[in-house]
Amino acid sequence: MSSENGRSPVMADVARLAGVSHQTVSRVLNGHPNVRPETQARVQAAIEQLGYHRNSSARALVTRRTNVLGVVTFDTTLYGPASTLSGIERAAREAGYFVSIVTLTDISRASVREALDYLAEQSVEGCIVIAPQRAAVESLTDVSVARPLVAVEGGRAPGLPVVCVDQVGGARAVTEHLLGLGHRTVHHVAGPMEWLEAEGRVQGWREALEAAGAPIPEPLRGDWSPRSGYEIGLRLAEDPRITAVFVANDQMALGVLRALGEAGIRIPEEVSVAGFDDVPEAEFFTPPLTTVWQNFSDVGRRSIRLLVDQIDRRARKGSAGATETEEDLRDVVPARLVVRASTAPVQLR
Amino acid sequence: MSSENGRSPVMADVARLAGVSHQTVSRVLNGHPNVRPETQARVQAAIEQLGYHRNSSARALVTRRTNVLGVVTFDTTLYGPASTLSGIERAAREAGYFVSIVTLTDISRASVREALDYLAEQSVEGCIVIAPQRAAVESLTDVSVARPLVAVEGGRAPGLPVVCVDQVGGARAVTEHLLGLGHRTVHHVAGPMEWLEAEGRVQGWREALEAAGAPIPEPLRGDWSPRSGYEIGLRLAEDPRITAVFVANDQMALGVLRALGEAGIRIPEEVSVAGFDDVPEAEFFTPPLTTVWQNFSDVGRRSIRLLVDQIDRRARKGSAGATETEEDLRDVVPARLVVRASTAPVQLR
DNA sequence: GCCTCGTTTGTTAGCGCTAACAATGTAGCT
DNA sequence: AGCTACATTGTTAGCGCTAACAAACGAGGC
């Protein structure tokens, strides 16, 4: 792969071999018009013969474009963030960008800032922050001037473009589904307060209950983990008036199913349980879980589009115009109810 | 953040403000000795006042180091790859490297090559390929000369450093555990043939059976998905002689549990089931799943160490020495059996 | 005083590339 | 032929940084 002398070949080497100037090589590489087909072929042959690769640093230095986007994410082992990251990466590559990632271990205003600074150090052209927590979003509003930025699942933030799944709508749909089955009301196992997704799901659930004139029980707080769902499930099992539970994610729903099962409660005959996320396993829980499907790859695609738009606009107009768009850019991806066997019409318990 | 004239500040701007030469600024930034403390302070102040960030492209151009590592991965929504990626990213950052990722949609020799070429285009200093399939590993052996490379879960490949979990040992441990409970033999639901992890688990299972002189049934092939586990589980349910099943991953094990449950088979009283992976949900399956835990963050850490070692060695000796180490570098991370309630002593069925 | 040595700072060149401009060739017209 | 228009190629400068060398300065020994 490398040239004879040991160092990897540069444009001048290719030029020499093809008998042209280095600039002609550059033109071929960048697809400029006005290069004679024969010359182009000769250059191509030389490139292949030497195994030449353009030096991206040199290119970036002069074009002032690194073609790198940064992604800040939190706990990629959770199904949602992992799927979103995957969608982002694919979309970025299609748009001609590389993706550099930073995963946070703790979420604080400081650590998000630090991650963004770190990515800035690498001269990324823009960042996507998968920031489902309130703290993370707040930390973004201060920085937003610096360089293009998009928040995923970011909540409402002035002047900060956001892509998110319609948590409220999804939660409303599940709750309405359960009410439609004849349940007097629906209990809710919520996610942590700081998580915007958790709050959106609480809101949708509450709205549906209010609209139906159903009593609104206090939501129980878990931490997304199956364990917390299990613990809350044990408490739910003790209250015989509960007939329907909407759990804020599938992992906790699994814990709830387990706890209710251990208590000898039959699902869905005695208690209906629904989740949120539609993880691949949900269909094979005992019983198969009614849940809400989110189109994460669409989220990834849309957030890249928003980010690339910002970058292009800035590149075209020059970075002078600071606060050109104060409009509240917010791209909401719909969620879809998936009904399975864990929910059923109300029966006596 | 940006300087007054609109363009972001460069080293010369800092130098002017601090009343020194740009080289002195460079020295401060790189922590060179022989800079008077007072000068250093003045430069620091100027840097902060201007919000100066070093241009990484210019720096990379002259130092010939991009400080970027590439990671090629496949389906990051699977628990294993996602956890490994996370561990890699953390370890890389600690070692002072950025991480650029490419996720593959299909695994073929061509697509892995393409991903590596793509990363080469970005001038990464080395790559880690999370390549659990045979095809992926094969595609690596040809390239290995080009630049530092480490395979994760890569199987045996000449001259290619590999970090992997001890699949064989883990599988042997589960199988021995089941035999120790008095089962005459253990059936196996395997993963796809092309996956090296699947083969390793088959091997460990087979070894344990052979050592115990137990009959070796034909392994049944799934595709890692809960659905395939479910379908195979339905078949298993029909054979009353089966009392113990080792499933190659937790997702398929979930499907098996579901299928056996639907067939009215009690677990673990009638059939013991064990998985592999120890996903967070496993503890809350019905019943809680006996499985094998893998230390993925350790895998990430070790693979980064192997890669950084290669890069450092190459940087020190110059890239002249091509095939300096033909030794078979292979770092095996132990796996750990986690016994839960899905396995029990054999009983009459 | 002069020379040597070490510390601190400045000057210069050049990494590999692209953009702007200059130069050349080639065809089509008057 | 001579001019214009255009296609094709080459030459030059410079992106922002670091490495190598050079210069200035003070301390210490003869």
Nearest neighbour of B76 by CB, restricted to A82, A286, A319: A82
Q: In this complex, is the C-beta atom of A114 within 8 Å of any C-beta atom belonging to chain B?
A: no
pLDDT of residue A5: 57
Would you call B225 and A280 a contact, using CB atoms and an 8 Å cutoff?
yes
Nearest neighbour of A53 by CB, restricted to B103, B121, B258: B121
pLDDT of residue A77: 79
Per cent of chain A over pLDDT 90 is 71
Residue B293 bridge partners (DSSP):
B277, B336
pLDDT of residue B143: 58
> How much is the average pLDDT of B69-98?
90
pLDDT of residue B6: 63
**Does the pLDDT of residue B138 top 80, yes or no?**
no
| Among chain B residues 92-111, those with CB within 7 Å of any atom of strand D | none
Would you call B286 and A281 a contact, using CB atoms and an 8 Å cutoff?
no
pLDDT of residue B131: 78
Per cent of chain A over pLDDT 70 is 92
**Domains of chain B with bracketed CATH:** 11-54 (1.10.260.40), 64-160+296-331 (3.40.50.2300), 167-294 (3.40.50.2300)
The closest nt to B59, taking CA to C1', is D17
- Whether residue A274 contacts residue A349, with contact meaning beta carbons closer than 8 Å, is answered with no
List chain B residues with CB under 8 Å of A318: 6
pLDDT of residue A330: 86
| Residue A11 neighbours by CB under 8 Å, 6+ apart | A22, A25, A26, A52, A54
**Residue A131 and residue A151: Cα distance in Å, rounded?**
6
> How much is the average pLDDT of A329-342?
94
**Residue B71 and residue B102: Cα distance in Å, rounded?**
6
Query: From the CA of A217, how many Å to the nearest CA of chain B?
Result: 26
Report which residue is nearest nucleotide C12 when distances run from CA to C1'.
B23
Average pLDDT score, chain A: 89
Residue A321's pLDDT band (cuts 50, 70, 90): very low
Would you call A225 and B280 a contact, using CB atoms and an 8 Å cutoff?
yes
| A262-294 tens-digit pLDDT | 999 999 999 999 999 999 999 999 899 999 999
In degrees, rounded to 5, the angle at the alpha carbon of residue B267 between the alpha carbons of residues B265 and B272 is 110
Q: In this complex, is the C-beta atom of B1 within 8 Å of any C-beta atom belonging to chain A?
A: yes
| A128-157 tens-digit pLDDT | 998 788 877 777 776 545 689 999 987 666
Would you call A61 and B56 a contact, using CB atoms and an 8 Å cutoff?
no
**Nucleic strand C near CB of residue B144 (< 7 Å):** no
Residues 222-251 of B with CB under 8 A from A: 225-227, 229-230, 251
**Does the pLDDT of residue B134 top 90, yes or no?**
no
**Residue A1 and residue A17: Cα distance in Å, rounded?**
15
> In Å, what is the separation between the CA of A57 and the C1' of D12?
21
Higher pLDDT, A34 or B184: B184
Burial label for A335, CB within 10 Å (0-12, 13-18, 19+), is: buried
Q: In this complex, is the C-beta atom of B278 within 8 Å of any C-beta atom belonging to chain A?
A: no
Would you call A261 and B286 a contact, using CB atoms and an 8 Å cutoff?
yes
- The nearest alpha carbon in chain B to A319 belongs to B6
> How much is the average pLDDT of A43-48?
94
**Does the pLDDT of residue A318 top 60, yes or no?**
no
**Nucleic strand D near CB of residue A24 (< 7 Å):** yes
> How much is the average pLDDT of B248-263?
95
The order of strands in the sheet holding B244-247 is: B220-221, B187-190, B244-247, B272-274
Query: From the CA of B215, how many Å to the nearest CA of chain A?
Result: 31
- Whether residue A97 contacts residue B100, with contact meaning beta carbons closer than 8 Å, is answered with no
> How much is the average pLDDT of B278-296?
94
**Does the pLDDT of residue B5 top 90, yes or no?**
no
Residue B276's pLDDT band (cuts 50, 70, 90): very high
List chain B residues with CB under 8 Å of A280: 77, 225-226, 251
pLDDT of residue B323: 45
**Residue A156 and residue A161: Cα distance in Å, rounded?**
9
| Residue B138 neighbours by CB under 8 Å, 6+ apart | B109, B157
Residue A320's pLDDT band (cuts 50, 70, 90): very low
**Residue B79 and residue A277: Cα distance in Å, rounded?**
16
| A215-268 tens-digit pLDDT | 999 999 999 999 999 999 999 999 999 999 999 999 999 999 999 999 999 999
Residue A4's pLDDT band (cuts 50, 70, 90): very low
Count the alpha carbons within 13 Å of A294 in the hemisphere toward its beta carbon. Answer: 30
Average pLDDT score, chain B: 89
**Does the pLDDT of residue B318 top 70, yes or no?**
no
| B34-55 tens-digit pLDDT | 899 999 999 999 999 999 999 9
Residue B320's pLDDT band (cuts 50, 70, 90): very low
Burial label for B178, CB within 10 Å (0-12, 13-18, 19+), is: buried
> Residue B9 carries which side chain, given as an amino acid letter?
P
**Nucleic strand D near CB of residue A36 (< 7 Å):** yes
- The nearest alpha carbon in chain B to A97 belongs to B122
List chain A residues with CB under 8 Å of B53: 120-121, 123
Report which residue is nearest nucleotide C15 when distances run from CA to C1'.
B62
* Count of other CB atoms within 10 angstroms of residue A191: 25
**Residue A286 and residue B288: Cα distance in Å, rounded?**
12
**Residue B171 and residue B175: Cα distance in Å, rounded?**
6
**Does the pLDDT of residue A315 top 60, yes or no?**
yes
Per cent of chain B over pLDDT 70 is 92
**Does the pLDDT of residue B3 top 70, yes or no?**
no
> How much is the average pLDDT of A78-89?
89
Q: In this complex, is the C-beta atom of A320 within 8 Å of any C-beta atom belonging to chain B?
A: yes
| Residue A268 neighbours by CB under 8 Å, 6+ apart | A287, A341, A342, A343, A344
Would you call A53 and B120 a contact, using CB atoms and an 8 Å cutoff?
yes
Choose from A116, A281, A296 for mutation: most chain B CBs within 10 A: A281
> How much is the average pLDDT of B82-105?
92
Residue A317's pLDDT band (cuts 50, 70, 90): low
> Residue B34 carries which side chain, given as an amino acid letter?
N
**Residue B216 and residue B185: Cα distance in Å, rounded?**
7
> How much is the average pLDDT of B267-284?
95
**Does the pLDDT of residue B58 top 90, yes or no?**
yes
The DSSP result for B208-272, as a single string, is HHHHHT---PPPEE--SSHHHHHHHHHHHHT-TT--EEEESSHHHHHHHHHHHHHTT--TTTT-E
3-state helix, strand, coil in chain B (%, to 5): 45, 15, 40
List chain B residues with CB under 8 Å of A2: 319
**Nucleic strand D near CB of residue B30 (< 7 Å):** yes
> How much is the average pLDDT of A107-127?
88
- The nearest alpha carbon in chain A to B75 belongs to A86
List chain B residues with CB under 8 Å of A257: 286
CA B90 to chain centroid, in Å, comes to 12
- Provide the pairing of β-strand B68-74 with A220-221: unpaired
**Residue A267 and residue A271: Cα distance in Å, rounded?**
5
| Among chain A residues 247-306, those with CB within 7 Å of any atom of strand D | none
**Residue B58 and residue A107: Cα distance in Å, rounded?**
32
Would you call A281 and B226 a contact, using CB atoms and an 8 Å cutoff?
yes
pLDDT of residue B37: 92
> How much is the average pLDDT of B152-180?
89
pLDDT of residue B247: 98
Residue B135's pLDDT band (cuts 50, 70, 90): confident
Nearest neighbour of B98 by CB, restricted to A83, A100, A258: A100
Q: In this complex, is the C-beta atom of B144 within 8 Å of any C-beta atom belonging to chain A?
A: no
